[in-house]
Structure 1
Amino acid sequence: MTKGVWVVLAITMVVVTGNVAILWHVLQSGFSAREQPSELEVIFARQLRSLAMPKAQKQLKNPVPASEEVLAEARIHFADHCANCHGNDGSGSTLIGQNFHPRTPDLTKIETQSFSDGELFYMISNGIRFTGMPAWGKGRPEPDLDSWKLVHFIRHLPSITREELALMEKYNPVSQVAREEQERIDRFLQGEVLDPESPAHHH
């Protein structure tokens, strides 16, 4: 048999075996998102993701030179777009991130840091099916410099400083209630006499 046939057979075996294992696990535990994926599911999902990712994409090199300016820009982008799920520190220890199925990964760990720049870019730009990770990019590597800058920031996360984390907080999205409360505080500090707040609760 040709190499291509062997590859197709190997992929087919992985898919069939994985599907049978996952079906068995689902029948045993149901469809609840509270129970995290088994080790077998994780291994299968990672292998399938790797097989599905184009080889040329994996080999892409980051076209954006690393610099303090690039990190600063990506830090703001991450705080505004990514931190709700991943946390400013990339640990994934957020209310949203910990309730996904599977949970949002810790980007500082070797499981993420061992990906090539091309793999990280591909996942940022195209998202990951059957997870909470959306497709953020423009679909093509050339014009998508923001995603390439985020790759640099992800590489930087294991050594991020407390000062950087503090800077990121002001760029984190806030709720309408929190925004209105901050506006009241600002007006009060500027000398405005405010009416007592209504006892009604926000929903």
Structure 2
Amino acid sequence: MLFSVAATGFLTGAGLIMAIGTQNAFVLRQGLQRSHVGLVVGICALGDIVLILSGVAGIGTLVHEWPDLLQVLRFGGAAFLAWYGLQAAQRAWKGTGGLMAGQGNEGSRRRILLACLAFTFLNPHVYLDTMVLLGSLSTPYPGRLQWVFAFGACAASVCWFLALGFGARLLQPVFRQPLAWRVLDGCIAVFMLALCALLLLRPLN
């Protein structure tokens, strides 16, 4: 019974976490560069764990009933996505994104930390998916089984970000070509700007 509930939580969490594309694109790029991957993976996974456990504990209802908070996150997240999308577009246009392993700048740790926190906490859909939705899906399980479900969802987040961040190096032979970086940054730019437009044009439900 415990394994079945944990597996349900794992599969549900994986389905939601893998769909949060802006954060995944950022983690993939850092993994390809092998730049502060442990920091990025740790923040993303820990952020999900905090949000999932908060949702199961019942805080998700507060987020759902306080739409003003989500509106602040909506516009803040849209502004951040626009800025990051334009940065990616500039890299794609100039061909300056092909930074590979060993070429990272330690001075960029703070910038990467802030960007990672923004991708993790400025997306209002993250709160709806992790806190509200996963919190609601955990309620049919009584007592400690609710936390077993949460454990499964948290495990999915940890596994996904570890695989994405540290597994990205397997794609490095492809990204030894500058054109591959330009294509990646171009796709990231389109993706970020499209999500920015969606955040601004589509009301949160």
Say yes or no: TM over 0.5. Answer: no
Q: Which has the higher contact order (CA 8 A, sep 6+)?
A: 2
Structure (1/2) with the larger helix percentage: 2
| TM-score, with length taken from structure 1 | 0.25
